[in-house]
Amino acid sequence: MEWPAYLDEYEKLVIRMNTPRVVIDNAACPTATVVKVDSGRKHGVLLEAVQVLTDLNLSIKKGYISSDGRWFMYVFHVTDQYGCKLTDDNVLSYIEQSLGTWKPTRSQSFEGLTAIELTGSDRPGLLSEVFAVLADLECSVVDARVWTHKGRIACVVFIKDESSGSQIEDATRIDVIECRLSHLLNLGEQNDGRVSIISMPALEGSISHSDRRLHQMMFEDFDFDCADDTEAIAMDTDVPCVSVQDWTERGYSIVTVQCKDRRKLLFDVVCTLTDMDFVLSHGTLNTEGDQAHEEFYIRHMDGSPISSEAEKQHVVRCVQAAIERRGSEGLRLELCTLDRSGLLSDVTRTFRENGLLVTRAEVSTKDDMACNVFYVTDMAGLPADPRSIESIRNRIGESCLIIKEETAPRVLRKVASDSFEEPNNGVAAGLFHLGSFFKKNLFSLGLIKSS
């Protein structure tokens, strides 16, 4: 285990002796499942917890985060993708097992695969050309994640040899793959594309989580500083409101986020702040309707707050970019069909030939089935022409390619600004006690005002 520099040997011993304690309660809240975790303080433990929940496509509707230096506690109110409590015993057991260890259980193992990372300037048809090159070189795509933001693209693609079904280890062949992909990425004027290819055993340590790696790649690519000519005509005009304030007397900086709620929003913000080497000591999360409000009390790893206005603006831009990268821009298309050689190349070429631009993609295969998700717009970033969509579906297969609307979680009704509606049997008494405990804790630390 890699320990943060600020921990002494005694603190490390305390962490080893006190594994996280997990409590999952379906009776405390009438509208959500309450997940509570106590653990020794370790940098990134909050991110690991949020990662476990979001990887299950759960929505975190409300939360409290608090630490006292050596101990860390967080409570999340979570629902499934339909806005309901969690009732599947397998899911509950997985959450308890994953959060009860220092390292979350991996949802998928990439052992035996070769990873390709690509970043650079995006352009129409680029993704189609990437998949066409891989198909031509007899590389089978097992899993892939693609994000685009402000004219930049980042991809993490996991491949294997098409004939042998194993990872690609031949150095000469890897050089050929890297050379051809680099040529594609550097055809534009900027000539700033980058390609790296990683094989086992280095893969497991370098790419532990695809979404986190995509955030890191786009951060390293400085997408937060890129100008976007299409921003004015973007389909989603909701700009996340992010601010950073000083709290000098307590030695904290306060990061506040107000934006439209969506799944994995908390992960994107916590992931970015964690990878920027900030310690998130306290925080609150609340959603009302389709709006989310998040507040975090942060410090540098050495315990100091943000010290300059320039750094504040840097944090604001980085958090805004993290929220926007996963913005569901475009129409969601789901492809579920038998996997075959060149499938992705053919599908993305069809998109391109019908004037569609892929803004985000999630590719996965299981056994002989390919389950892929694409977000598409027209070439100008505007809504796709319905006639183009129908033409594509007729060509690929209407039963295979379907238009899928984002599932909107059920809105939690409230009877007051700070309390969820209680059922007649009063089972929410536990929630009231839990919320009161956290509010008392945060108030004693001076983090919230008395009501």
pTM over 0.75: yes
Both structure tokens of 208? 């532990």
**What is residue 327's predicted lDDT score, i.e. its pLDDT?**
76
Q: Which residues of the chain have pLDDT under 70?
A: 1-8, 10-18, 69, 102-109, 188, 200-208, 228-237, 328, 405-451
Domain positions in the chain: 9-106+237-326+413-444, 114-227+327-403
Nearest to 107 by CA among 158, 51, 45: 51
Both structure tokens of 237? 């005009």
**What is residue 12's predicted lDDT score, i.e. its pLDDT?**
61
DSSP single-letter state for residue 378: E
Beta strands (DSSP E) in 150-277 are 152-161, 194-199, 241-247, 252-260
CB-CB contact of 385 with 376 (8 Å):
no
**What is residue 236's predicted lDDT score, i.e. its pLDDT?**
47
CA distance 240 to 2: 34
Amino acid at position 230, single letter? T
**What is residue 436's predicted lDDT score, i.e. its pLDDT?**
46
CA distance 427 to 433: 11
Both structure tokens of 450? 């008395």
CATH topology of domain 114-227+327-403: Alpha-Beta Plaits (3.30.70)
**What is residue 103's predicted lDDT score, i.e. its pLDDT?**
55
**What is residue 422's predicted lDDT score, i.e. its pLDDT?**
38
- Is the link from the previous residue into 104 a cis peptide, with omega within 30 of 0? no
Residues in the chain: 451
Q: For residue range 139-185, what is the model confidence (pLDDT) as tens digits?
A: 999 999 999 999 999 999 999 999 988 889 899 999 999 999 999 99
**What is residue 235's predicted lDDT score, i.e. its pLDDT?**
43
CB-CB contact of 71 with 38 (8 Å):
yes
323: enclosing H helix or E strand: helix 309-325
Both structure tokens of 116? 């390709």
Nearest to 415 by CA among 406, 403, 424: 424
CA distance 205 to 185: 26
For residue 41, report the phi and psi dihedrals to the nearest 5 degrees.
Answer: -75, 130
Residue reference for tokens 């804790």: 441
Write the DSSP string, 351-376.
HHHTTEEEEEEEEEEETTEEEEEEEE
Q: For residue range 349-386, what is the model confidence (pLDDT) as tens digits?
A: 999 999 999 999 999 998 899 999 999 999 998 999 99
